[in-house]
Structure 1
Amino acid sequence: MAVNRWLRPEVYPLFAAVGVAVGICGLQLVRNICINPEVRVNKENRAAGILDNFAEGERYTEHAVRKFVRNKSPEIMPSINSFFADPK
């Protein structure tokens, strides 16, 4: 009875959107636990205290996606925007 209520074709996009959101959150959590220089999971790393390793922090913040979009225009469709906004 409950299966017929929740597994209708109308709710598939909702499941997809929630699944993508949960996946993004999971990837961010794994990224932070594995490579964030401020997160220390091991006991010996926690005993080190506050470290001034700016190079490691720079590598963490300047990841590939940020380097890719750094010099890009913050528009979704720049050709359509310029077509309607720029006078000829």
Structure 2
Amino acid sequence: MSWQRWVKPEVYPLMVPIAAVLGLVATQLLRNISTNPEVRVTKENRTAGILENQKEGEKYAEHGLRKFVRGRTPQIMPSINDYFTRGQ
């Protein structure tokens, strides 16, 4: 009963982007905790101080999405852009 009082059908469209953003936040948090060389969760790693690990930092910065988009044109819809620029 109380769920129906607080969550009305008008709120459902708002729940979709909120859930998507929460998913992105959780993904980024897990990525930073597990692979970021500057984040140290365990006590042994925190006592190590500043580490000079360039290879690990490069591996973190050059992730799969960045490798995928490198070399591509920064356009969302290149075929539509080409169509409208040729017409003029």
TM-score (norm: length of structure 2):
0.89
Q: C-alpha separation between the residues in 2 aligned to 1:4 and 1:47?
A: 51
Letter in 1 for 2:81: N
Alignment of 1:9-88 (within 5 A): 10-87=10-87
Deviation at 1:6, TM superposition (A): 2.1
Deviation at 1:74, TM superposition (A): 1.2
Q: C-alpha separation between the residues in 2 aligned to 1:36 and 1:58?
A: 10
Aligned residues: 87
Deviation at 1:72, TM superposition (A): 1.2
Deviation at 1:14, TM superposition (A): 1.1
TM-score (norm: length of structure 1):
0.89
Q: Secondary structure in 2 aligned to 1:71?
A: coil
> Superposition RMSD on alpha carbons, in Å?
1.7
Q: Give the match for residue 6 of structure 1.
A: 7
Unmatched 5+ stretches in structure 1: none
Deviation at 1:4, TM superposition (A): 4.6
Deviation at 1:7, TM superposition (A): 3.1
Q: Secondary structure in 2 aligned to 1:40?
A: coil
Q: Which moved more, 1:15-24 or 1:69-78?
A: 69-78
Letter in 2 for 1:60: Y
Deviation at 1:87, TM superposition (A): 4.7
Unmatched 5+ stretches in structure 2: none
Q: Secondary structure in 2 aligned to 1:11?
A: helix
